[in-house]
Amino acid sequence: MTLRLDLHHGGPPLDFRADLPKGVITALVGPSGSGKTSILRAVAGLLRLKRARIAMGDEVWDDGRLHLRARHRPIGFVPQHYGLFPHMTALGNVETALTHLPAKERRARAESCIALAHVAGLETRYPRELSGGQRQRVALARAIARDPRLLLLDEPFSAVDRSTRKRLYLELRRLHEQLHTTILLVTHDLDEAAQLASHLCLIRHGRLLQQGPTAEVMARPRCEEAARLLDIPNVFEGEIEEGDPAGPFLLWGPHRLRTTGQRPEETGSRQRWAVLPTNVLLARTDKPWGSHLENPVPALVEDVVLMGGDAVVWVRPRGLPEERVQMRLPARAVRRYSVVSGTEVTMCLRAADIVLLRESRP
């Protein structure tokens, strides 16, 4: 699916260009006010833009001149607060999407969708008589009633508790496996995106920062804005030094780090870079964990916080008094090697895990 959206009035400015893969769940992630809902409304046909191109395959829905009305687009839409009619039962709400069918077929199709959404037995209840999770399922049943080619979900899990949310995640994944529908999911929750989506779009101030396979985007942010949006705490600055065919070296204070597979523009230039906390390895100087340490950096442990089966460890690299590196390690390893505040350690940064960040486009 091709999206080209441009809006500079009446809401968050949009300058959004993306190609969404067919038949997968794509998550649109960004902070409040970044334009996520405006993008969804434009795709749904509820927001008309002067400059836009929205197409699914060879079918153009919007190109600035042509504007296909919402009711003619092959979509299903679940708004943030579900949009159920309070005076209608669950069955009646689902049937509102099927007014083109005769009454008997309409009822049969609505009941089938209600069963598919796991709310069978609640057909005669009104929205006020349903829990948040049940209302969400009814809204989803209505959205899939017309066999949409595209399903739009706007923060669909924000109004339910944690345990209900986990169940709904599983149900959505199962539903997607059954229907193979393209889904565009708006969320601000990175964990939610990681669990549900195979494709991820990061958006800020109405423009696309990065898109791609979810695991790849989360592991390798393209720019510092993307790294901050992904809540990666380890973002630093170094200097590029000419390396070898594998990649350049990165000078970080007194430390010379090998990188791989990346080509910055200019040797000697300042370079922002990042590394995920889970990709920082640690060894005690008196209890080495292995014989080969890649990019070893002597450091001093400043703080350790145990969080369930994990431990968050902060270290201060030698020769870089202003820098603080966060790592996330198995709690059992931290206990086994007696890693506590004041311990001298060697921090290891694998070349493949060092991400050189590009400058953000203004």
Q: What is the mean pLDDT of the chain?
A: 91
Instruction: Give yes or no: residues 104 and 215 share one domain.
Output: yes
Instruction: Give yes or no: residues 99 and 211 share one domain.
Output: yes
Of the listed ranges 40-44, 91-95, 124-128, the one predicted with least confidence = 40-44
pLDDT value at position 293?
78
Instruction: Give yes or no: residues 38 and 149 share one domain.
Output: yes
Instruction: Give yes or no: residues 165 and 240 share one domain.
Output: no
Instruction: Give yes or no: residues 244 and 177 share one domain.
Output: no
**Whole-prediction pTM:** 0.89
Buried b (16+ CB within 10 A) or exposed e, 212-250: eebeebbebbbbbbbbbbbebbbebebebeebeeebbbb
Looking at the domain assignment, is residue 230 inside a domain?
Answer: no
Looking at the domain assignment, is residue 151 inside a domain?
Answer: yes
| Helix, strand, coil percentages for the chain (3-state, nearest 5) | 30, 35, 40
Looking at the domain assignment, is residue 228 inside a domain?
Answer: no
Q: Which of 156, 189, 220 is the last residue of a domain?
A: 220
CA atoms within 13 A on the CB side of 187: 24
CATH number at residue 261: 2.40.50.100
Cβ neighbours of residue 47 closer than 8 Å, sequence gap 6 or more: 7, 38, 41
Q: Which domain holds residue 199?
A: 2-220
Q: Which of 220, 254, 272 is the last residue of a domain?
A: 220
pLDDT value at position 321?
94
Which range scores top for mean pLDDT: 16-20, 47-51, 263-267, 322-326?
322-326
Instruction: Give yes or no: residues 61 and 85 share one domain.
Output: yes
Q: 66: helix, coil or strand?
A: coil
Instruction: Give yes or no: residues 240 and 216 share one domain.
Output: no
- Yes or no: say if 361 and 309 are a contact pair by the CB < 8 Å rule: no
Q: 58: helix, coil or strand?
A: coil
Instruction: Give yes or no: residues 21 and 166 share one domain.
Output: yes
Looking at the domain assignment, is residue 263 inside a domain?
Answer: yes
**pLDDT above 80: residue 266:** no
pLDDT value at position 287?
61
Reading across the β-sheet that carries 280-284, which strands appear in turn?
A: 280-284, 344-349, 296-307, 310-317, 325-330
Instruction: Give yes or no: residues 88 and 15 share one domain.
Output: yes
Instruction: Give yes or no: residues 239 and 216 share one domain.
Output: no
Looking at the domain assignment, is residue 225 inside a domain?
Answer: no
Query: pLDDT tens, 118-147?
Result: 999 999 999 999 999 999 999 999 999 999
Of the listed ranges 68-72, 110-114, 185-189, 243-247, the one predicted with least confidence = 243-247
Q: How many domains does the chain have?
A: 2
Contacts by residues 194-200 (CB-CB < 8 Å, ≥ 24 positions apart): 194/218, 195/169, 196/25, 196/27, 196/169, 196/172, 197/24, 197/25, 197/26, 197/27, 198/21, 198/24, 198/25, 198/26, 199/20, 199/21, 199/24, 199/25, 199/26, 199/27, 200/26, 200/27, 200/29
pLDDT value at position 75?
96
**How far is Cα 198 from Cα 136, in angstroms, rounded to an integer?**
22
pLDDT band per the 50, 70, 90 thresholds, residue 243: confident
Q: Which of 152, 185, 220 is the last residue of a domain?
A: 220
Instruction: Give yes or no: residues 191 and 253 share one domain.
Output: no
Instruction: Give yes or no: residues 135 and 181 share one domain.
Output: yes
